[in-house]
Amino acid sequence: MTTLTYFIIDDDDVSRRMLQSIVESSGLGEVIGTADNGTEGVAEILRVKPDVVLIDLLMGDQDGMESIAQLRAGGFHGKFIMISQVVDKEMVGQAYQTGIEFFIHKPINKLEIQAVLEKVNGQLKLDRSLLEIRKSLAYLEQGKAQAKPVVKERTARDAAYHMMLDMGITGESGSKDIVAIMEYLVDRREQEMPPLQELYEAIAAKYRQSDKEIAKESKAIEQRIRRTALAALTHLSCLGLTDYSNPKFEHYAPMFFDFQEVRLRMKEIDEEAPTCKGKVSIKKFLQAFYWDLSRKME
């Protein structure tokens, strides 16, 4: 996989250097350029075409949203992460509407930056893998102009990863377990959700042999999926807090979680309160996932 490239636009020299150090020292990719203003940054980005742009919201010549609009108009299709001291919810919501992936509040926190960049990296790698698959299929179809067009059937794995991208959980450890469960259910054309323990043991049996090992792995699978569901709840709550009409929030939040869970998590985020463990229903989460995945595969 080609190393991912980054470009940083921030009018604060210290912030630029900190961001570059975090990216490169963490092995997350290579910073191929920086700029201290939007005008210079836009021109340089259109020339070097990085994979990811880290951009400040408020700058002297033009703000980050103006810069993003100019880049989109210029044909740039990379991903954006906005970093700013701004806490105004309306302005943050407007930033998401421009197409940014994440909004990170200053002061810069190294662990938060690393976590966000790892998720964006996962999204980009998945996008590239899917693109390569499409190119390969298109190549194989060349020379068959007289044949009846063949429509590639969407797999459970493809549909599941797209859903997890929407919910911001592709980088979570439980994402692979969720994909394995969805493939298990689709292969057996299950109409109703089997008992959770049965699902955990079926997946665990793929990696372990003895009954004791399977039982231990089953518990680990349950814990990983619970953490992943909580991560999805947090990501969707952030989207809803900044823009209640966000289509991803409107689609996934009420379907995958109880309303009280979503409201409580939004309140915690809004008040910057410590995160409670929550009472996420894994059964509801997996049932909703399977139902939505089945619908998208039709």
Q: Would you say the pTM of this structure is higher than 0.85?
A: no
Assigned token pair, 272: 């910057």
Residue 12 identity: D
* 177 pLDDT more than 90: yes
Q: pLDDT category, 149, cuts 50, 70, 90? A: low
* 144 pLDDT more than 90: no
Dihedrals φ, ψ of 272, to 5°? 55, 40
* 151 pLDDT more than 50: no
Q: Residue 139: its pLDDT value, please?
A: 67
* 174 pLDDT more than 70: yes
- Give dist(CA 260, CA 264) in Å, integer: 6
Burial of 131 (0-12, 13-18, 19+ CB in 10 A): exposed
Assigned token pair, 22: 């975090």
DSSP one-letter code for 194: P
Beta partners for 5? Answer: 30
Q: Residue 48: its pLDDT value, please?
A: 93
* 273 pLDDT more than 80: no
Q: Residue 285: its pLDDT value, please?
A: 92
Query: Average pLDDT for residues 284-295, to the nearest whole number?
Result: 90
More confident residue, 13 or 190: 13
Q: pLDDT category, 295, cuts 50, 70, 90? A: confident
Q: Residue 173: its pLDDT value, please?
A: 85
Q: Residue 153: its pLDDT value, please?
A: 55
The lowest-confidence range among 182-186, 257-261, 271-275 is: 271-275
Q: Residue 171: its pLDDT value, please?
A: 82
Contacts of 135 (CB under 8 A, 6+ apart): none
Query: Average pLDDT for residues 40-53, to the nearest whole number?
Result: 93
| Percentage with pLDDT > 70 across the chain | 89
Secondary structure element (H or E) that encloses residue 249, with its range: helix 247-256
- Give dist(CA 298, CA 294) in Å, integer: 7
Q: Taking all residues of the chain, what is their mean pLDDT, rounded to a whole number?
A: 84
